Amino acid sequence: MRLTDDLLSWLKERSEKTGVPMGCLIRDQLESARSGGGDTGFIVVFARRNDEHHDWAVNLGQGVTEPLLTCEAVLAEAAFRLESSAYVLRLINDGLLRLAFDCSKNLMELQDLARRYADRKRTWRVFASFE
């Protein structure tokens, strides 16, 4: 992905103001967005104008030349966090996001995985440890 002039300007300004190298700023911003739940974090930060990372997400979004790949689970979580499925669906319609996994096209493989791992019982406690 190529950086837009606005994003590059923002990075230079932020780097000069904080003394943090631009590469570290990019890494920190990506880690911050990822901590919100994978690409869910980016979607949420992109939508929330009052978020401290909103400008970064908008600048990053402006540099996107191909849709960002995502899945239904990420869209559902983002819609829940934003309390707006319409906003999330608009990102797909506008070409910023594209669903990368079609469950119906992979149903046989998913059923095979379900059978293979059916004997492994998970508890909510196990899932909670991943958060």
Domain residue ranges in the chain: 5-128
Decide: helix, strand or coil at residue 86. helix
Which of 22, 24, 27, 20 lies closest to 7, judged by CA?
22
| pLDDT of res. 80 | 92
| pLDDT of res. 30 | 58
| pLDDT of res. 29 | 61
Q: Quick one: how many helices (H) and strands (E) in the chain?
A: 8, 2
- pTM (whole model) above 0.75: no
Q: pLDDT 10s digit of each residue in the chain, 131 long?
A: 456 676 677 778 888 888 888 777 776 665 554 443 347 888 898 999 998 888 888 887 777 777 887 888 889 999 999 999 999 999 889 888 888 777 787 788 878 878 887 777 655 444 444 43
